[in-house]
Each structure stands twice: as C-alpha cells, then as structure tokens.
Amino acid sequence: MAGAVSVALYRGLTELVSPAIHALLNRRARVGKEDPARLAERHGIASAPRPEGILIWIHAASVGESLAILPLVSRLLETPDCSVLVTTGTVTSAELMRQRLPARAHHQFVPVDLRVSVERFLDHWRPHLALFVESEIWPNLLLAAQQRKVPLALINARLTRRSFEMWKRAPGFAQRVFSVFDICLAQDHSIAERLRVLGANDVRIAGNLKADAPPLPVDETVLATFRQAIGARPVFLAASTHPGEEQIILDAAVSGALTIIVPRHPQRGSIIEALAQARGFISMRRRNGAIPSADTAVYIADTMGELGLFYRLARLAFLGGSLVPHGGQNPLEAARLGIPVIAGPQTRNFDDIYRVVFAAQGIGRIESGDDLKQLAAKLLIDSAEAKRIGKLAQAAVEKMGGALAATLQTAEQLLAHARA
C-alpha cells in the first residue's frame, strides 16, 4: 500500500513540474547540453523508425556506461533477427554512439521521466527486453515498461552508499521501483546486498562489464605523430579532471615532463589553459589542433573520445574526481593498458575497483597535492618501476572479468520468456 501511494505521489509530482522540465530542456539546449535538433526525443518522439524483428533496448546514462556496453551490443547482434536500441542522456554519449555503434544498433536520447513522454517512447519502440545499466532508475519509465510486460534487468548494477541511504528513506517506494527488475546483476557483494534490502528480486553478482571491455581504441597514425613530437620526455596524464583539481595538478607538475590534462568536460579547456598560463606554463590545446612541441609544458586534451591515445602516451595516470567530492572516475581503462593509477581519497563511486588496483600496485592512493607531486616524480623518473606497477594493475583487472558472459546469459534467459 505504501509503495502504491508513493508511486502515485511521484507521478503527481512529475506531472506538476512538467512545465519546468520542458523549460529546463530548452535552456539546456541553448547552452549545448541538449541537441536542439533531437530535442523531441527527450519528449518520447522518435526520430527513426522501429526496426523489424526482436528489439533489445539498453539504457546507459552517459559516456562511461555507453562505452561499457559496446561489447554487449556486438554480441547481442550476433542473433540475425535482433536489433538493439541504445538510449543515453547526454550529448557527448550520443556523439560517441554515433561513431561506434555497429549496424543494426540505433541510438535515441532517453525520454524525460514524464508519463506522457515514456508512453510515447514505448508505444513506438515496443522493446522485447530492456536492460538498464548501473544506477539508471527512472520510476515512470520502469513502471510503464513493466506494465507492458517488458522483461527488465538491471545490469552492471551500481548503487553507492549515499544513494542507498536516500532510497532507504522511502522503503515502500524503493521496494515498488526495484522490484520491477526480473534480474539484477550487481558488480559486487556490497551492491548486491543494498539492492536486496531495497526490494530487488533475483540479485546475482556478475562483476563489472567495464572489466570485460577491450582497451580503448586509438588511431595509430595519430599516436605515432604524438610520440614523435613528445620524444623521450615522460608524460604525466591527469584524466577526467573536475573543477578544483587542475590547480593541484599544475602545482604538482614535474619539471622536464609533459603534463597532459583531459578534463571530464571538454568545454572547460579554455579555463584550464588560463590556469596554466597564469603559472607561467607554455600550454597548447587539442581542440585547436595543436601537437605538443619541445617547449610545451602543459597539453590540454579538450576533445572527446581520445583517452585511448593519451593513456598510451602516459607513464602514469591520475584519475580525476578523486581530489574533490565527486567520487572518482573509473580506473579500469588505465589499468587495462598497463598504466599505473593514482587517485585521491574521494573514490566512493568505484571503491571496490580501486581497492583491487591499489592492492596490486602497492601504491597509488594520495591525500594531497604534495603526495601527488612526490609519487608522480618518483614514477616519471623511474620508468622501470612504472612499467612494473602498471603490469601488476593490468593483471589485477584482467582477473575481474566475467560480467559480459553473465549478462549475455541473462539476456538470453529473459528473451526466451519474451519469445514464448
């Protein structure tokens, strides 16, 4: 009863604020956070026809989640009569999906969680199976799909302690929402237990899909150009940085090394360039097409989809979002390429992965800018030690695989019921 009341309240609240949601979408479109040409998709109005045959819908929030599901998409498409619809919520993830989705895989922006929008979306696409990735919980969307008897699974499930505590404040609502999933594939034991407490059914531990993903791609010609330009200088990479971290990174820069900063949000490139120049560094920006020269001290990689290039140039990598209260970025991409990982204390988003990586490396956790400078200098000077630590991290994450096979098995199991 409490769950039904909570759902009714949620639906009523979302209807009440729907004018504000529409206004917010228009405002976001004006500042580049939505695609104006595809804004109708956010209202559930499709911009492409539904393909014939079986359609599997995968919803991923943003860049990291959408990249993680690419191997899954390819494997699902091995079934001849099957197509895949991928929905995401950001402009950057949409662009990456445009570049990387294979034939018979389609992208749309996810509709906002208003009943009229989700009903339009489901009326058009009529999926046979829906896979929601990590922590994408949209009550109206999920409940509408369940009402249409669409099999639902939460895959690569992640639920931070903070989110868990928030859901616990409304136990009836949480139980109603999380129970819509026929199967939940959790990344680890602690997440599995949180999902069970909130009312999820058939919770299984499958590991992390990102551990099964192939190494990030790279254009070998571009890589060779950069390597020639950089020469023998060691490279310190700061990947997916957030506001407040670049100042610390610049103050920790090691003389004689090239510092490459890849901001989480590329539009911040000019801000970071100003910070570097204020400290007297000669800097260049990737967005301007520049290649590092011999006197470049700081190179700002303010583009999307090129982390595979910059990881391969690096001797070590600092993972952003960890020196500010963001929760850290995923270290698997760096470790998979044999790059030593450094991160600050704020890694709650991926605590279990960092625990494995740091245990294998023996080092990597820092508490301050001084710690960062000291550890970076040590590994930039000692290339043999950096390679040794990187190989330990690489071996550790290779043992974390297996989620892809478990997810495919789950999809096949639920599809079999849908076909019956």
Question: Does residue 65 carry a catalytic annotation?
Answer: yes
Q: How far is CA 197 from CA 134, 147, 172, 183, 200, in A?
A: 17, 23, 11, 15, 7
Residues in contact with 26: Cβ distance below 8 Å, sequence separation at least 6, in sequence order: 39
CA atoms of 268 and 246, how far apart (whole Å): 11
Q: How far is CA 386 from the centre of its chain?
A: 26
Phi, psi of 407 (to 5 degrees): -70, -40
How far apart are alpha carbons 142 and 353 in whole angstroms?
Answer: 29
Neighbours of 270 (CB within 10 A): 12
* Length reported for the chain: 420
3-state SS class at 85: strand
Closest CA to 318 of 227, 265, 379: 379
CA torsion sign for 76, 213, 179, 9 is: negative
DSSP 128-170: SEEEEETT---HHHHHHHHHTT--EEEEEE---HHHHHHHHTS
Distance CA 259, CA 370 (A): 16
List the catalytic residue out of 15, 34, 52, 65: 65
Q: Point out which residues pair with 317 in neighbouring strands.
A: 237, 341
CA 92, distance to chain mean position in Å, is 11
Residue 157 φ then ψ, to 5°: -60, 135
Placement of tokens 């290039």 in the chain: 309
Cα–Cα distance for residue pair 413/401, rounded to 1 Å: 21
How far apart CA 399 and CA 171 sit, in angstroms, is 36
The catalytic residues are 65
